[in-house]
Amino acid sequence: EHLDDAVCREVWEETGIQTKFERIVCFRHLHAYRHSKSDMYFVCKLRPLTAEITIQDEEIAKAKWIPVEEYLAGEHIGVFNKGVVKLALQSEAGLVSGWIDGFDADRKLREIYLPPH
Q: Give the tens place of pLDDT for each residue, 85-104.
A: 888 888 777 777 777 777 77
Q: Report the pLDDT averaged over residues 5-30.
A: 93
Residue percentage of the chain with pLDDT more than 70: 97
Residues 60 and 73: their CA atoms lie apart, in Å, by 22
Q: What amino acid is encoded at 52 in this protein?
A: E
* Statement: residue 112 has pLDDT above 70: yes
Partnered with residue 30 across adjacent β-strands are 39
Contact predicate 50/17, CB 8 Å: yes
Instruction: List residues with catalytic annotation.
Output: 13
Q: Report the pLDDT averaged over residues 66-95.
A: 89
Query: Which has the closest alpha carbon to 11: 26, 2, 21, 22?
Result: 21
Give me the helices (H) in the chain, please: 3-15, 68-73, 79-90
Could you tell me the domains of the chain?
3-114 (3.90.79.10)
**What's the pLDDT at 76?**
95
Overall pTM > 0.85:
no
* Statement: residue 117 has pLDDT above 70: no
